[in-house]
Amino acid sequence: MKNRLENFFVTLYRGSKSSWKKYHFLIPPRLWKKYIKLLLGMRPINLFYNPLDKKDYNKWLEENPSRYPKTANSFKYKPLISVVIPVYNAEPKYLKECIDSILAQTYKNFEICLADDASTDKDTKATLKEYEKNKKIKITYRRKNGHISKATNSALKLAKGEFVALMDNDDTIPENALYEVVKVLNKDKKIDMIYTDEDKLDEDGRYCYPNFKPDYSPDTFMSVNYISHLGVLRRSIINKIGGFRAGFEGAQDYDLYLRFFEKTDNIYHIPKILYHWRMAEGSTASSIDKKDYALERGKKALEDALGRRKIKGKVHIAKNCPYYCVEYEPVGNPKATIIIPTKDLADVTEVCLKSIYEKTTYKNYEVVVVNNNSEKPETFTLFDKYKKKYKNFRVIDANFEFNYSKINNLAARETESDYIVLMNNDIEVISPDWLTWMIGYASQKHIGAVGAKLLYPNDTVQHAGIVLGIGVASHVHLEKKREVVAWAGQLAVPHDFSAVTGACLVVSREKWSEVSGLEEKLKVAYNDVDFNLKLLEKGYYNVCLANIELYHHESRSRGSDTSGEKKIRFDSEQEFMYKKWKKRIENDIFYNPNLTKKTTAGYLLDKAKDPQA
């Protein structure tokens, strides 16, 4: 069923595209019969490449060739970059490819600093000896093996550059990698760290498994080291924090970045594949599962970070994936108000209320149902039932035309709790600790709105974060199975997004007030997205907790927006969003620009051309 539906929309897209291109939708009546037959007979076609499919990714690379600059001498600012590489028993072929890829850089103001960690392989040392005469290369030979952290620190001692680029001894970079880095630094010399997209090299030398990263996402980074390579860091800050720490081998770069980010947030992301990570057998590039100790060391690095930052919390290794869930402890015992607008539908609302009261482990909350023009007796019977049963339940009347923003703003004004919880009446709690986790995140100084993973009753994904620019804004990973992990654990662990849905959203009252609550000009659509973007503008991050699950029996309360007056209103609210948030919509900083915005299916790549359009 799903495939047929997908093919229908793909075919509809191609047909619409073709009819616009040829006729601007003004198809002559005499041709309608012909084109209907063609449309019905079109062969279904996939418009996207799957980046995790090796063939697909390499086809995409062919269609999107990199254009390397021949020279890089026009820069006014030409900082020395020290490429730092620890070496231990590296296979000579791969070590040469690594060093030669650096020597081939179009930007020439660099040095290569290598530290051999007492390699026992004579061929490795012989290979290093071949490069000793090159003036751009510095090599130190350690007498005793100290493992990767100590070896990298030995290489760092050789470095004189203003910036340090970190590499492994068998990886490669394309010839424009350092050029792209310095191009960014010429626009802003205050940047302290630059990272890039990356992919992997299989044993046959083919590119695969690209990592198309978001811009700096601190909460995503607390879940997974999505930054990895290529990292170029200001050397003075590395020296200030003491370089790499022994005892964190396997997650030594994760630990370094966590400490580095505590000194600066002036971080820049280049959305280009500028690092090729070799999938050598037994390496973390091949599979982090082969190094269970790396997961434990990463957990230790995160626990240390919480300690340094004086934040109370726990670090959990996620289920079924090699990532982390950081659980923040709510400070004190703050009170939350759960606001639930409703108009009748007592059966739906009771499922919501029952799940809250019977499953929620966090106790300091109140439920405020906002009655918007209910008429049916069973609705008022339900209200009376819960008033008698629970002291922390009450009803506020909002007997005016439906306006989601106005309803919630009214309830917020008439309550005084520390945290505001927006909740649709068709939500059903699954995770008993949902409110503890969400308040814990909402209590962090840098976090604005907090959302959760919402599931359809058939255990497929309805919401796990909102991406801008798919339309105005759309949920991603729609209808994926509940157990799917997705890119970097987006369906398993907390991640930063531009927005989370107001169907279940937690925010501190202080931050709610700071952005003046919900925009009442947006009566139904996009008011939650607008609210999230107002928080982003204030410098806060919005987070979706994919490890926290609730059911969402979506839109049963309100119906469709695709006809009549509702369609007119929906179109006007879309126009409002485009006018107000055009730059944000066109450039979602948490969604890599290489990825498609033509589908909500997930992280896919556009094909260069549609052969049947």
Structural domains of the chain, with CATH = 81-310 (3.90.550.10), 336-586 (3.90.550.60)
pLDDT at position 65: 79
pLDDT at position 519: 97
List Cα–Cα distances, 403 to 247, 283, 375, 411, 553, in angstroms: 56, 55, 17, 13, 20
Q: What digits encode the pLDDT tens for the residues 527-539? A: 999 999 999 999 9
Q: What digits encode the pLDDT tens for the residues 546-598? A: 999 999 997 544 445 555 677 888 889 999 999 999 999 999 999 999 999 99
**Is the preceding omega at residue 230 within 30 degrees of 0, hence cis?**
yes
- The answer to whether residues 155 and 85 touch, using CB atoms and an 8 Å cutoff, is yes
Pairing of strands 110-116, 427-429: unpaired
Count other C-beta atoms under 10 Å from residue 578's C-beta.
12
Average pLDDT over residues 36-52: 66
Question: What whole-number distance in Å separates Cα of residue 314 and Cα of residue 330?
Answer: 12
Q: What digits encode the pLDDT tens for the residues 370-403? A: 999 999 999 999 999 999 999 999 999 999 999 9
Helices within 327-466 (DSSP H only): 346-359, 377-389, 404-413, 434-442
Question: What whole-number distance in Å separates Cα of residue 266 and Cα of residue 243?
Answer: 19
CA angle 90, 93, 98 (to 5 degrees): 75
pLDDT at position 71: 62
- The answer to whether residues 505 and 422 touch, using CB atoms and an 8 Å cutoff, is yes
Question: What whole-number distance in Å separates Cα of residue 236 and Cα of residue 199?
Answer: 29
CA angle 299, 301, 306 (to 5 degrees): 95
pLDDT higher than 80, residue 7: no
Pairing of strands 495-497, 207-211: unpaired
3-class secondary-structure state, position 403: coil
C-alpha closest to that of 99 among 131, 140, 141, 139: 131
Q: Which residues contact 195 (CB under 8 A, 6 or more apart)?
A: 213, 227, 228, 229, 230, 231, 232, 267, 268, 269, 270
pLDDT at position 10: 53
Question: What whole-number distance in Å separates Cα of residue 545 and Cα of residue 500?
Answer: 10
| Partners of 183 in beta bridges | none
Average pLDDT over residues 252-277: 97
Is the whole-model pTM more than 0.85? yes
C-alpha closest to that of 593 among 195, 53, 215, 174: 215
pLDDT at position 43: 44
pLDDT at position 70: 59
Cα maximum dimension of the chain: 90
Average pLDDT taken over every residue of the chain:
90
pLDDT at position 613: 39
Question: What whole-number distance in Å separates Cα of residue 604 and Cα of residue 598?
Answer: 9
Which of the two residues, 272 and 41, has the higher pLDDT score? 272
3-state secondary structure 13-52: HHHHHHHHHHHCCCCCHHHHHHHHHHHHHCCCCCCEECCC
